[in-house]
Structure 1
Amino acid sequence: MQSIEVVLAMLLAVLASGYLVRLLPFSLPLPLVQIGLGAVISGVFNQGVVLNPEVFFLLFLPPLLFLDGWRIPKSGLFRDRGVILQLALGLVLFTVVGAGFMIHWLIPTIPLPVAFALAAIISPTDPVAVSSIAARAPIPKRIMHILEGESLLNDASGLVCFRFAVAAAMTGGFSLASASLTFLWLALAGLAIGVLVTLGISRAQNWLSRHVGEESGSPILVSLLTPFGAYLLAEHLEASGILAAVAAGITMSRVELSGRALPTTRVQRAAVWDTVQFALNGIMFVLLGEQLPGILRDAADSVQEAGHLDPWWLAIYALAISAGLALLRLAWVWGSLHWSLLRARQRGERPERPHWRLVAAMSLAGVRGAITLAGVLTLPLLLPDGSPFPARDLVVFLAAAVILLSLVMASLVLPRVLQGLELPPESTEHQEEDHARMAAARKAVRAIERAQRELPTEVGEAEAYASAAARLLALYQKRLHDVVPTGTDPAQLRLADKAERALRLAALQAEREAIFALARNRMISDEISRKLVREIDLLESRYR
């Protein structure tokens, strides 16, 4: 019963954080507010949970990574695949080696394999934290897509490096050949399992729905269970469950393009997934805050493990490691950028050098999150000979401190780095939207004309169908003519769109109030009221 109360308290904390972040007189990222509320739950009310990392990975990571893979723009993911792989693989290995030697040099009491383990678990960035920080900073969309792609893929490489570093600390040995083969199996098998599971579930669901039928909520429940199936199967086969969940989400976005799902199913499924994403994201950071008091209580032992008596040395170590991570990331981004510019010049191109503030933003946006905390808590308590795992409490504390410092630094410095920076306009998105609208309208006109030729032969019905077809054709012809012609003043178009949107929203609000009034006066049933209000809400969501 106590565990249920703690879960309910965490959900209330997630709910309260959404309002509290808007009431604060200063700008603060939502994850930091949720971490603070989690610390209040654990510290003030003396309530908390024992975080089982395996359960945490199973409950939280598959659905969130699946949704990120589902919704991430695929054009940007494949267009910048080279940069993303450099960050997700090359930067992780660079960080593990560089930060590992730095941590061992800074704190000699931490053995080198344990230092590599700490460096590996703090190397991956967190997609949830990155998205939250980006919501308050004007990060260009292309850079944001690169950061999202990096955070989706670098979890696997970081956790694999962490696993081998822990194995080296436990056994005292390390085989590069064995580690390379294991990494290839984890990555390739994980990706393949995610793709095959999603395709198999989708085809089985389509076959059942055609031959047996299905309940209205079945497709939504299937989409919620798919990431868990891919994750569990991959883990059972000793592949990467994280990459399997990501691959399942990317495959689901391709399956979605088949258009087999009903419109109402897509609307309801999007609402359900938005709720799941908000709740799980919030609970992850509330759990992080809930773990902080216990981590801080072990700080005294951590200081002694580091060979000092003053607890302020912990803060110095955390700041030094955070600064080292930022410098390593900056060096990698700077080097990769100049290498790309050099290759482009060799091909005869004239690439434009990005502003230095964009390079700095790429370095500051490497935010760590709950994945780092869950991973570091999997450190074993004892070595095979029964002795305590060296510097375990110190490593856990430093990982938690790096998470907090990266969140604070990104939330405070990143908006100021990008403030006032004039970015080149990204016009391709508007062009793609216009192209899609015109293509859809043309196909709709052809479909109406084709259906009109198959009208009923009765005179009364034929006239009614012809009148309806004429109205629809006029609507789609207007949409075709409304596409922006070349040479039109964009400012006037934006003003006209703004005015039309305001008028439409006012009209829809009036319709909704009229329906509510009729329902309150019992002139229409609640069922009719809900149906009509839902139609109005869907129309309004288009203009919001």
Structure 2
Amino acid sequence: MCAPFHFPLIQIALGALLAWPQQGLHIAFDPELFLALFIPPLLFADGWRIPKREFFALWRPILKLALGLVLVTVIGLGLLIHWLIPSMPPAVAFALAAVVSPTDAVAVSAITRNLGMPAKTMNVLEGESLLNDASGLVALKFAVAATMTGLFSWDDVGKEFLWMAFGGLGVGTALGWCFARGRDVVTRRVGDLAATQMVLMLVLLPFAAYLLGEYFGVSGILAAVAAGITTNFADLRRSEFVAERLQTEGTWAMVESAFNGAVFLLLGLQLPSIIGSTLADAGHGGWRLAGHVLVISVALLLVRWVWLTLVVRQSLRRVHAEGKMAEHPSALLTLATTVAGIRGAVTLAGALSVPLLLPNGSPFPGRDMLIFLATGTIICTLLIGSISLPLLLRRLPPAGEPPDLREERAARVVACRAAIDVLAGGEDKIAPDVHLAPGQFQEVAGRLAQDYRKRIDLLSDGTDAAVTPEAIADAPDAVRQRHLRYVMELELRLRCVRIERDALYRERQSHQINDASLRSIVAELDLSEISLSKRLLVARRAAGLSVPAVDGY
């Protein structure tokens, strides 16, 4: 079975095989449409999923990597590329440098899974990837504009960058907030009946944020990122919408996978013609182009290592001294963080979004060379990372138990105690729909509390499917009481699952756990609630009781 980081190479090869013959598949390509179609959902998903607590705790090293390193890379690498390939105009060289500046934390996560990458270092890489995707693409936009117009001014660029950055963040935040408010109004009235419609609106939200940002002349890319972050914060107040949450997780997993795959497949479809025209324009063999790719890739990693060592390492030491980062920023960890600067889908999407033509109708200078070198850099950094990262991580000292696991364990204890406290409050506090003889509630509640104390599987009990409502109605009172107790037990279990989930959301809102831990535990509780709800419906029907309407599932 192929490792996840091999999939991009397979997808590129598949696209190339489809397009290589003269009779192969050829697609008319609109770079502007490509940018609007593929970039917003990918960046929105990054903003929606990134652990916010760690992002704000580690903001100094993240910003130094995502903004400072991008600026240094664009300027330094742009000058190197122009010196290396004199035929490439300076603005196009800077555009290529901007294209290869964003990193891909997803590829790093796939390579380092179960290899001991320190958790906080991975959080820094995720935060860097989120922001440098946006900063790199904004820098690309300026470089392309300079190529198209032939005009460039540092003062104008600085002012325009600030307007685009803060304007894009403002537009995305406002749109995300409006969506969250509108969703609350609808779903508070109809519940999970509108789950599918809300998920569809959420999928369309990044496109709306991007287009609205571009309409107002600000960064649509940053607008999509800000909308994702704002929506995630709003989701922390929506613990009870189980069906919507499950559908959202499944839908976004599919969207991310499909769009990432489509980017690499489309590159494969363009690759044969790009290679042919690049070799023809360059006037020399492929080995020299491969050498250019290697030089650019090594220069990228060298600039990254120098920046980490001289600028970022001090911030990491401060974070470590403050107790926000367990691992010490050693030279070996700095080297591992350097080779973790793998390029991926956003780099490729940026390269493919470069216009085909200048305003005067002539071809965009060096476009095919730019795409070829960007593609080679992705493959080269991917290979370097996949080979060297496992070797480096094995030499790091054992990190011990990850803090996230300790927090998750503590959060589970808090959730169980919240359920036990409610059970101890008696029948008046629970207010079940089924009322039994005195003492029987305490029997059922006591058994559930014991289950929580022992952490027994919530769904271990079963019911007799062969018993019909008519048989129960005609059965002796003791049998009927036993089945009614089972209905009450399922109701109490269902209430306790919801109480656990509410407690977990309170833990996240008070920053006791992070987003990843919350999603992991809540996913378990959501599945338990769905199963319990189904069993409760069957049990109520079997007991001859009324069956309430169930939303979403």
1:273 to 231, 240, 252: 252
Question: In the aligned structure 1, how far is the partner of 2:188 from the partner of 2:5?
Answer: 50
Do the aligned partners of residues 122 and 66 (structure 1) sit closer, same or farther apart at CA in structure 2, a change above 3 Å counting? same
In the alignment, residue 436 of structure 2 is paired with which amino acid?
G
Q: Does 1:74 align with 2:52?
A: yes
Question: In the aligned structure 2, how far is the partner of 1:370 from the partner of 1:456?
Answer: 52
The share of aligned pairs that are identical, in percent, is 43
2:79 to 97, 101, 104: 101
Query: Which residue is 2:188 aligned to?
Result: 210
Question: In the aligned structure 2, how far is the partner of 1:419 from the partner of 1:541?
Answer: 41
Map 1:39-50 onto structure 2 (within 5 A).
Answer: 39-43=16-20, 46-50=24-28
Q: Does 1:195 align with 2:173?
A: yes
2:352 to 344, 369, 377: 377
After superposition, what is the alpha-carbon deviation per residue over 1:401-456, rounded to whole angstroms, capped at 9, x for unaligned?
21221222222222222234323224422331232122222222232334523558
In the alignment, residue 126 of structure 1 is paired with which amino acid?
D
Question: In the aligned structure 2, how far is the partner of 1:79 from the partner of 1:264?
Answer: 32
Query: Which residue is 1:239 aligned to?
Result: 218
Do the aligned partners of residues 136 and 300 (structure 1) sit closer, same or farther apart at CA in structure 2, a change above 3 Å counting? farther
Query: Which residue is 2:517 aligned to?
Result: none
Q: What displacement does 1:350 show?
A: 13
Q: What displacement does 1:327 show?
A: 0.9
After superposition, what is the alpha-carbon deviation per residue over 1:114-134, rounded to whole angstroms, capped at 9, x for unaligned?
221221121112344444444
Question: In the aligned structure 2, how far is the partner of 1:277 from the partner of 1:344?
Answer: 32
Question: In the aligned structure 1, how far is the partner of 2:337 from the partner of 2:143?
Answer: 27
Query: Which residue is 1:37 aligned to?
Result: 14
In the alignment, residue 72 of structure 1 is paired with which amino acid?
I
1:317 to 285, 292, 305: 292
Map 1:409-488 onto structure 2 (within 5 A).
Answer: 409-450=384-425, 452-453=427-428, 460-479=436-455
Q: What displacement does 1:83 show?
A: 0.7
Do the aligned partners of residues 337 and 209 (structure 1) sit closer, same or farther apart at CA in structure 2, a change above 3 Å counting? closer
2:201 to 217, 222, 230: 222
Q: What displacement does 1:344 show?
A: 8.3
Query: Which residue is 1:140 aligned to?
Result: 118
Question: In the aligned structure 2, how far is the partner of 1:94 from the partner of 1:458?
Answer: 68
Query: Which residue is 1:85 aligned to?
Result: 63
Question: Secondary structure at the residue paired with 2:436?
Answer: helix
Q: Does 1:53 align with 2:26?
A: no
Question: In the aligned structure 2, how far is the partner of 1:355 from the partner of 1:302?
Answer: 45
Question: In the aligned structure 2, how far is the partner of 1:315 from the partner of 1:267?
Answer: 46
What are structure 2's unaligned runs of at least 5 residues?
466-522, 532-553
In the alignment, residue 470 of structure 1 is paired with which amino acid?
G
Conservation of the 8 A alpha-carbon contact between 2:116 and 2:399? no
Do the aligned partners of residues 169 and 436 (structure 1) sit closer, same or farther apart at CA in structure 2, a change above 3 Å counting? same
Could you state the TM-score of these two structures normalised by the residue count of structure 2?
0.75
Question: In the aligned structure 1, how far is the partner of 2:241 from the partner of 2:397?
Answer: 42
Question: In the aligned structure 1, how far is the partner of 2:127 from the partner of 2:66?
Answer: 8
Conservation of the 8 A alpha-carbon contact between 2:61 and 2:312? no
Conservation of the 8 A alpha-carbon contact between 2:35 and 2:353? no
Do the aligned partners of residues 266 and 540 (structure 1) sit closer, same or farther apart at CA in structure 2, a change above 3 Å counting? closer
Do the aligned partners of residues 536 and 69 (structure 1) sit closer, same or farther apart at CA in structure 2, a change above 3 Å counting? closer
Map 1:254-273 onto structure 2 (within 5 A).
Answer: 254-273=233-252
Question: Secondary structure at the residue paired with 1:169?
Answer: helix
Question: Secondary structure at the residue paired with 2:342?
Answer: coil
What are structure 1's unaligned runs of at least 5 residues?
1-19, 480-499, 516-533
Question: In the aligned structure 2, how far is the partner of 1:457 from the partner of 1:337?
Answer: 59
Q: What displacement does 1:212 show?
A: 5.8
After superposition, what is the alpha-carbon deviation per residue over 1:13-48, rounded to whole angstroms, capped at 9, x for unaligned?
xxxxxxx516xxxx9622222222222222267114
In the alignment, residue 170 of structure 2 is paired with which amino acid?
A
After superposition, what is the alpha-carbon deviation per residue over 1:189-219, rounded to whole angstroms, capped at 9, x for unaligned?
2222222212211211221233466434223
Q: What displacement does 1:90 show?
A: 0.3
Query: Which residue is 2:228 aligned to?
Result: 249
Q: What displacement does 1:284 show?
A: 2.1
Query: Which residue is 1:531 aligned to?
Result: none
Map 1:164-183 onto structure 2 (within 5 A).
Answer: 164-183=142-161
Query: Which residue is 1:124 aligned to?
Result: 102
Question: In the aligned structure 2, how far is the partner of 1:387 from the partner of 1:47?
Answer: 26
Query: Which residue is 1:186 aligned to?
Result: 164
Conservation of the 8 A alpha-carbon contact between 1:361 and 1:417? yes
Do the aligned partners of residues 68 and 381 (structure 1) sit closer, same or farther apart at CA in structure 2, a change above 3 Å counting? closer
Question: In the aligned structure 1, how far is the partner of 2:177 from the partner of 2:273?
Answer: 44
Question: In the aligned structure 2, how far is the partner of 1:278 from the partner of 1:292?
Answer: 21
Query: Which residue is 1:529 aligned to?
Result: none
Judge which range, 374-383 or 278-287, deviates more: 374-383
Do the aligned partners of residues 95 and 253 (structure 1) sit closer, same or farther apart at CA in structure 2, a change above 3 Å counting? same
Query: Which residue is 1:284 aligned to?
Result: 263
Question: In the aligned structure 2, how far is the partner of 1:373 from the partner of 1:153?
Answer: 17
Conservation of the 8 A alpha-carbon contact between 2:91 and 2:146? yes
Do the aligned partners of residues 355 and 540 (structure 1) sit closer, same or farther apart at CA in structure 2, a change above 3 Å counting? farther
Judge which range, 453-462 or 142-151, deviates more: 453-462
Q: What displacement does 1:387 show?
A: 4.9
Query: Which residue is 1:17 aligned to?
Result: none
Conservation of the 8 A alpha-carbon contact between 2:105 and 2:129? yes
Question: In the aligned structure 2, how far is the partner of 1:111 from the partner of 1:458?
Answer: 78
Map 1:297-316 onto structure 2 (within 5 A).
Answer: 297-304=276-283, 309-316=284-291
Question: In the aligned structure 1, how far is the partner of 2:220 from the partner of 2:240?
Answer: 27
In the alignment, residue 445 of structure 1 is paired with which amino acid?
I
Query: Which residue is 1:491 aligned to?
Result: none
Do the aligned partners of residues 218 and 323 (structure 1) sit closer, same or farther apart at CA in structure 2, a change above 3 Å counting? same
In the alignment, residue 111 of structure 1 is paired with which amino acid?
P
Question: In the aligned structure 1, how far is the partner of 2:280 from the partner of 2:454?
Answer: 73
Question: Secondary structure at the residue paired with 1:31?
Answer: helix
In the alignment, residue 228 of structure 2 is paired with which amino acid?
G
Do the aligned partners of residues 310 and 211 (structure 1) sit closer, same or farther apart at CA in structure 2, a change above 3 Å counting? closer
Judge which range, 317-326 or 118-127, deviates more: 118-127
Q: Does 1:21 align with 2:5?
A: no
Q: What displacement does 1:153 show?
A: 0.7
Query: Which residue is 1:405 aligned to?
Result: 380
Query: Which residue is 1:64 aligned to?
Result: 42
Do the aligned partners of residues 234 and 535 (structure 1) sit closer, same or farther apart at CA in structure 2, a change above 3 Å counting? closer
Conservation of the 8 A alpha-carbon contact between 1:113 and 1:166? yes
What is the root-mean-square deviation of aligned Cα atoms in Å? 3.7
| Bigger RCO (CA 8 Å, 6+ sep) | 2
Question: In the aligned structure 2, how far is the partner of 1:52 from the partner of 1:345?
Answer: 47
In the alignment, residue 330 of structure 1 is paired with which amino acid?
W
Question: Secondary structure at the residue paired with 2:194?
Answer: coil
The alignment of Structure 1 onto Structure 2 pairs a total of residues equal to: 470
